[in-house]
Amino acid sequence: DAFRPDEAPAPHPLLAPVLGLLGAWAGNGRGGYPTLDDEFGYAQELTFSHDGRPFLHYVSRAWLLDADGRPLRPSAR
């Protein structure tokens, strides 16, 4: 498993160009599909971490939101 950025060992030197991605990123958005009449709200969280080796660990999770912005159910992972 990967470590959280504040608990991780020193990053591998090959990760220098992407060190700014380390951490958790979250936000809300609006989406749609051609087969749906209405748009939908969603929230998404991305996490980039490492364990000292020359690659990143990436996790993406998303939730569908109700009209008030509350999570309805997981959308994707």
Task: Say what the pLDDT of residue 5 is.
Answer: 56
Confirm whether pTM is higher than 0.85: no
pLDDT higher than threshold 80 for residue 6: no
**Closest Cα partner for 4 from 19, 20, 22, 17?**
22
Q: Where are the chain's structural domains? A: 13-76
Task: Say what the pLDDT of residue 3 is.
Answer: 59
Answer yes or no: are the C-beta atoms of 5 and 24 closer than 8 Å: no
Q: 71: exposed, middle or buried (C-beta count within 10 Å: 0-12, 13-18, 19+)?
A: middle
pLDDT higher than threshold 80 for residue 4: no
Task: Say what the pLDDT of residue 69 is.
Answer: 92
| Statement: 13-76 belongs to CATH 2.40.128.20 | yes
